[in-house]
Structure 1
Amino acid sequence: MNTADNQPPYEEATAFLKLLANPNRLAVLCKLHERPHNVTELAESSGLPQAAMSSQLALLREAGLVSFEVNHRERQYYIADSRVNEMIQLLYSLFCAGKD
């Protein structure tokens, strides 16, 4: 995450968890955990309008949690912070494993 160098670790953790505490952003990160996606795919899978999805992605991008690559004039978003993948795996094991 993009944070000040002198920020206490608990402040950084709080900012990280606040980003994940939003259901729409968490759904985006879960989807990106699978593979990179474009904004249209993410909007369709979440049911959010594309403009709302773009806003969620902008917040995650500003925090350094996601990034994108341009492929054939299309942005492919992916998880840029390895802590996100670790957290998604932990959340899956706590809340989803065995419920399929």
Structure 2
Amino acid sequence: MAVTPELTLANFAALLQPSNFDIILRTLGMAVAVSIASAVLAFPIAYYMARYTRGSTKAFFYIAVMMPMWASYIVKAYAWTLLLAKGGVAQWFVQQLNLEPLLQW
């Protein structure tokens, strides 16, 4: 059974087939491992940053912490581009609702 573009519950049933359980377990295992590794790395750095840094070193750590937050705006812009692109998710919904004539102007 394959995932089809129709909006049905059969797609969820297809994703929960026993052949996909290995993929789901590996994904969850990787998520747990990355979360633990991040906490083990981040806590000592945060402690050092809060207790011992001064001046330019503190500014460096502040910028290092803020950079990933700024980068998320770039990722969001790229995601919106994919969603709104021709053949993207938004167009698929318009097609499913038979609203394509509204976009022809």
TM-score tier by shorter-chain length is: under 0.3
TM-score, normalisation: structure 2: 0.27
Relative contact order, higher structure (CA 8 A, sep 6+): 1
Bigger radius of gyration among the two: 2
TM-score, normalisation: structure 1: 0.28
Structure number with the higher strand fraction is 1
